Amino acid sequence: MIIVIQVLTLLYPGLPPPPPPPPPGARSTSLLCLLFLSPVSPSTSSRPQWILQRVPVVLPEKTEDQPTPHFLSEARLDVASGCDPDCHKKATRLSYWDLRRLLAFETLHSDGRLTETAIGIYGYNPNLNTSPAQRSRVRKRREIFGHDGRFSIAGQNFLLKFPFSVAVKLSTGCSGTLVGDRHVLTAAHCVHDGKNYVKGAQKLRVGFLKSKQRDAPQSTMNLTNHVEGGPALYTPPTKDKMKFQWIRVKRTHVPKGWIKGNANDIGMDFDYALLELKKPHKRRYMKLGVSPPAQRLPGRRVHFSGFDNDRPGQLVYRFCQAGEETPDLLYQHCDAQPGASGSGVYARMWDRRRGRWERKVIGVFSGHQWVEKLGVSQEFNVAVRITPLKYAQICYWIKGNFVDCREG
């Protein structure tokens, strides 16, 4: 019970202190009320706030047909790179022409046709593309065994409610996040291995969790924090069965920075892709946001949910502290397994203009980065930050115009 309250407090900052323990029969109702109770707003000065900023414009300029992809290799659910945080920080700053080349993109159509689109960049100031956290403390090596900080979410009244409902599964084995009424943000390596599109990318499908029964009974939440040798907090009800409803993908956009760059040091910086569905879904989606510096995040924490392979059929939620960051990457301490790649990393802060708390996707979970140093393997958990340029590009893919993409 204590762990559940702690998780709810992190999910919903500003919740009042929990009431005295209710009678045993009322516990489920109390948890439900706590989860969706409107937070008590602290003073304006203490609220972590979204800072609206003008973003540059990224516009398509010329589109050309490309050879048909092979679709031969299996999708890899992990990413390997020889460049650690120090390596990324020492990289030469990209020029305007470098950025134009790397933000050009390919579009894979459901009929197998492939096009490449050159882009133009307007209103971009390269001097602002720096990370204020480059002076942050060095991230310690992450141990992958021991305490597991992931929570399984069960019960359709929670799985189908925001923010958990924005998490979707890709037929290639990855996860994704709803960022429009027919758009899904995911990792580029889920559909492209850096050389060609993977098997299943042409007939890619997106899975939405839904109840197997039309009138399935209401269920309580299950936040199961698995600790080796310890009992689960709660066993999910057997009657509340869930299944995936699949929707085909119409178009897939992948930046050339991933396609041309994943063999060198900057490939991971562009490990993101946007999927356009053949028909709209009916769920609430999460807005995009420009990634703020880690020290401005509430509790310096990030959150994301995905479909980890070691828990088949379950949605797994986690939160953790952000570690180091570069202009394009965020190194965090979240526990995750293959299958979680492509999940949208989000934060919840106060929107002063709208006068409400709002969650926004600020990055894409790329996965575990393995680095060999002096014969020793080191592991980092990496998310690709949504920079102003990436925001402008992804927003244009979603909206189809730049007018609606000027404030991130």
Q: 68-104, pLDDT tens digit by residue? A: 998 988 888 777 666 777 777 777 788 999 999 999 9
Beta strands in 226-314 (DSSP E): 242-255, 273-277, 287-288, 301-306
- 266's CB contacts (< 8 A; 6+ apart) are 83, 88, 91, 94, 102, 257, 328
Catalytic (active site) residue 265: yes
Could you say which of 136, 219, 341, 343 is catalytic? 341
Q: 145-156, pLDDT tens digit by residue? A: 346 777 887 777
Residue 151: per-residue pLDDT? 82
Could you say which of 98, 181, 265, 310 is catalytic? 265
Domain residue ranges of the chain, discontinuous segments joined by +: 1-40, 41-405
Residue 168: per-residue pLDDT? 96
For 316, half-sphere exposure in the C-beta direction (CA atoms, 13 angstrom radius) is 24
- 33's CB contacts (< 8 A; 6+ apart) are none
Q: 186-244, pLDDT tens digit by residue? A: 999 999 998 899 999 999 999 998 877 654 444 444 444 433 333 444 444 444 677 89
What pTM does this model have? 0.80
Q: Describe the chain by its helix, strand, coil percentages, rounded to 5.
A: 20, 35, 45
Could you say which of 183, 189, 226, 368 is catalytic? 189
Catalytic (active site) residue 341: yes
Tell me the fold of 41-405: Thrombin, subunit H (2.40.10)
CA distances from 345 to 156, 215, 327, 360, 362 (A): 22, 32, 16, 8, 6
